[in-house]
Amino acid sequence: MRGLTRWDPFRDLSHLHRDVDELFKRSFGEMRGFGQWFRDIGEYPELECYTKDDKFYVKAALPGIDPKAVEINISGNRLTLRGERKEDKNVEKDNYMLREMRHGSFERSLMIPEGVDGEKVHASFEDGILTITAPLKEGVQAKKIPIEVSKKGIKAA
């Protein structure tokens, strides 16, 4: 004789959740976060921005892109990169076995900090990395701000 089994609706949902996760893994590979997925599909180039030695730096990863196909504009406090990765016209579409590289145009804009001298911007390209530098106007330095921490009404610095 067989005993009664209590119905657990969440058990079925957990199986469904696992199956959907497996479907996404097979379709898109391991997801490393939503933002990373957009970078992987080539929506825009990855950037690094920082200040060092009284200069502001922007580095953009543009592998496989002709630097002549990249345009840099500064308008007010907005820096914009535009460009295009051209498709190889020597290969027929039917001859591809794998095609992961993205082609087409891109655009990326970012706000540049106050104090960047937009009149003295310099750009260079080496090993697929576009480096944009601009001097910081005198007196503009990064400032470290201390954080005040309190525990249950008792202040500690």
pLDDT tens, position by position, 50-97: 988 889 999 999 988 889 989 999 988 889 999 888 777 777 777 777
User: With contact defined as beta carbons under 8 Å apart, do 66 and 86 qualify?
Assistant: yes
What pLDDT does residue 154 have? 60
Range of the domain at 106: 43-135
pTM exceeding 0.75:
no
Residues 11-50: tens digit of each pLDDT: 667 777 777 877 777 766 655 554 444 444 445 688 999 9
Q: Are residue 55 and residue 127 in the same domain, yes or no?
A: yes
Q: Evaluate whether residue 151 is within a structural domain.
A: no
**Domain total in the chain:** 2
Q: Evaluate whether residue 148 is within a structural domain.
A: no
Task: Give me the residue label for tokens 């706000």.
Answer: 111
